[in-house]
Amino acid sequence: MGAPNPNDLVQRVLAGEIRAGARLMRMVDDRTPGVTEYLKQLHPHTGKASILGITGNPGSGKSTLTDQLIRHYRAMDLRVGVIAVDPSSPFSGGAILGDRIRMMDHATDPNVFIRSVATRGTLGGLSRSTHDMVHILDAMGHDVILVETVGVGQDEIDVMRLAHTSMVVLVPGLGDDIQAIKAGILEIADIFVINKADNPMVDRTIADLRHLQSLVSAHPDWLPPITTTIAIRGEGIDTLTEEITRHRAWLEESDTLSLRTRDRERHILETLIRSQLQEHVQTLLDTKSDAIHESLSEGTLNPYTLSETLLSEMDLLRSVEPGPVEASED
């Protein structure tokens, strides 16, 4: 299969063509050379979708909740895109695809686009391709984009930097009060969702969360509400979506939306720079692999000196006086 015509593929994506979007996402995930040029052309057409992040402990019912949210927004005749970040297979490095299997009821709906992405060992709970895929879904005209992460942990807070509204899903009776402190979810959540709320310990979990919120020294302008759902039965979804709508209104009225958009773009910039530097470093190490192994095995150089030498070759240790960023005329 030959390389697609850049202008043709971009126009097809902007027209909302599913096959074109799927092809570009595949190119993004494979880091196909030249894929950045497509993303550059699509970027001016983004910024319209509402991005909702869903994270939480494994087994909390995130995928079932996502499935119910898809149903809710489709009932409103909105186009829905879903990025389900699955754990990587330890053998292939690809997504296990568990989340997409659980959402197969929507597979024939042309207004629902579901894509599973492997973490590929990426910290932060999100694959490095996730941001690009969200932009593609946005440019395709999806009204709501749901990003479901593999779980929550001390380093897995990237969903907060990507989404307009972040939901943290908890389950009663699993020690979530302790996990909340460890994971810092008080800072992650815009909305708390206590799923499987038919558990008799649900009141205890609500009380624990409210106690944790009372311990925060700085009182935020937005106090994350605590909602309860039984996602497997579709209970509590209407209340949850009302809170999502209320949070969106607060973002717009308080001008927090523009601040989050600015911070998200900066985070994407930092991610791109780190990714490109990592690729350059890996290329350098592969190119000089034999010489590196010989120097280390014979003890002629230590890792500290060798790292400085290699970075110097990449011109990364120069002392550069930062100057103003000039706008491109392109």
Hey, is 177 helix, strand or coil?
helix
Mean pLDDT, range 93-99, rounded to an integer: 44
pLDDT at 123: 44
For 21-49, what is each residue's pLDDT tens digit?
A: 999 999 998 889 999 999 999 999 999 99
Residue 222 sits in the same domain as residue 93: yes
| Residue 285 resides in a domain | yes
The reply to whether 140 and 160 lie within a common domain is yes
- Domain assignment present for residue 323? The answer is no
Give the pLDDT band of residue 209 (cuts 50, 70, 90): confident
Q: Is residue 321 part of a domain?
A: no
Q: Which of residues 20 and 292 earns the better pLDDT score? A: 20
Domains held by the chain: number? 3
Whole-number Cα distances in Å, 258 to 145, 230, 248:
18, 33, 12
Q: Which of 127, 105, 123 is nearest to 114 (CA)?
A: 105
**pLDDT band at residue 164 using 50, 70 and 90 as cut-offs:** very high
pLDDT of residue 167: 94
Q: Is the pLDDT of residue 251 over 90?
A: yes
**Residue 186: predicted pLDDT:** 74
Residues 248 and 296 placed together within one structural domain of the fold: no
Residue 52 shares a structural domain with residue 39: no
pLDDT exceeds 90 at position 293: no
Residue 327 inside a domain? The answer is no
Helix axes 303-313, 256-287, angle to 10 degrees: 110
CB crowding 253-284: b at 16 or more within 10 Å, else e: eeeeeeebeeebeebbeebeeeeeeeeeeeee
- % residues pLDDT > 70 (the chain): 78
For the segment 255-272, what is each residue's pLDDT rounded down to a tens digit?
Answer: 899 998 998 888 888 888
Residue at which a domain ends, from 254, 272, 299: 254
> Are 70 and 169 contained in the same domain?
yes
CA distances from 16 to 20, 31, 40, 235 (A): 8, 22, 17, 32
How far is Cα 138 from Cα 322, in angstroms, rounded to an integer?
34
Q: 237 and 279: one domain?
A: no
Task: Return the number of other C-beta atoms located less than 10 Å from residue 44's C-beta.
Answer: 8
Whether residues 132 and 181 fall in one domain:
yes
- Domain with 237, as residue range(s), is 46-254
Continuous H helices in the chain: 6-14, 18-29, 35-42, 62-75, 98-102, 130-139, 158-162, 176-183, 185-188, 202-214, 237-253, 256-287, 289-298, 303-313
pLDDT band at 182 (very low <50, low <70, confident <90, very high): low
* DSSP, residue by residue, 249-271: HHHHHTTHHHHHHHHHHHHHHHH
Q: What angle do CA 36, 40, 43 make, to 5 degrees?
A: 130
For the stretch 97-150, pLDDT in tens is: 444 555 667 878 999 999 988 765 444 446 678 889 999 999 999 999 999 987
Give the per-residue pLDDT at 2: 55
- Candidate from 13-22, 23-32, 168-177, 277-286 with smallest mean pLDDT: 168-177
